[in-house]
Amino acid sequence: DTEGLLRIKEENQKHYRRAQRHQEKKEKIQRHNRKLGDLVEKKTYDLKTQYEHLANLRRTHILELTSVIFPIEEVKTSMRDPADMSSESDNAMTSSTVSKLAEARRTTYLSGRWVCDDHNGDTSIGITGPWITLPNNGDYSAYYNWVEEKKTTQGPDMEHNNPAYTISAALCYATQLVNTLSLILDVNLPKKLCNRQFCGENLSRHRFTRAVKKLNANILHLCFSQHVNLDLLHPLHTLRNLMYLVSPDTENLGR
């Protein structure tokens, strides 16, 4: 029994010494983990600082790009409200008729259906200058209507102020700006669209509508990536969505 007790004591001492070594290893590992935690926290802070610096650089480049090369602004038109003009010509007109005229003015027939647009007739959005504009309600039917008329009309086109030209030019500039923004923001666009898509040959209605849908999808994708307020966006408002994206008021621009 005495010999057995001595053996048990020796084994207990070995286990105790081993437990001490394990405790020392545990403390060493804990100190190492604390150092790594501090290092990771410092690296995370440095990374966050670099992201903020990069976002500021992107924001500066975008604001410079849209103020010098591709300025986008709202262009007021001189159209008067039909309700106001009618009320002036007919003092006996009822208030219900005036309200119906105002409602009709805010409604547009677009692609086979009636859509409501509060800005219809009041403003248009210009890019690179007030003379190159797009309809605010997204109705670009003037372009393919002009293309269809060109097919049936012989002789050179002498209408230099044709709205189809401004629509084509504005969409071409918008495409170029969107592709440039995707490079600056490092955001892959969902649709491939070349800068020359809207210039050169006259596009058919199907090809033109398809290209416009691609451009609108790319613009919305950029807006989503920069956390633009969804309440401001409309799937048909090409330049207006782009204007909200590059606005200095967009807090997350450059993220």
Interior angle at CA 80, CA 76 and CA 83, nearest 5: 140
Residue 184 lies in a domain: yes
Residue 160 lies in a domain: yes
What is the per-residue DSSP string for 56-98?
HHHHHHHHHHHHHTS-EEEEE--PPPHHHHHHHH-TT--HHHH
Cβ atoms of 83 and 121 within 8 Å: the answer is no
Q: What is the pTM of this model?
A: 0.69
How far is Cα 91 from Cα 78, in angstroms, rounded to an integer?
Answer: 23
Query: How crowded is residue 21: how many other Cβ atoms within 10 Å of its Cβ?
Result: 10
Cβ atoms of 166 and 143 within 8 Å: the answer is no
Residue 246 lies in a domain: yes
Residue 8 lies in a domain: no
Residue 168 lies in a domain: yes
How far is Cα 232 from Cα 224, in angstroms, rounded to an integer?
Answer: 12
pLDDT number for residue 145: 80
Share of the chain above pLDDT 70, in %: 78
Q: Is the pLDDT of residue 58 over 90?
A: yes
Helix axes 205-225, 163-185, angle to 10 degrees: 40
Residue 235 lies in a domain: yes
Mean pLDDT of 131-149: 82
Place of tokens 């993220």: 255
What is the domain extent for residue 208? 125-254
Q: How confident is the model at residue 125 (pLDDT cuts 50, 70, 90)?
A: confident
Mean pLDDT of 97-115: 57
Number of domains the chain is built from: 1
Mean pLDDT of 103-121: 53
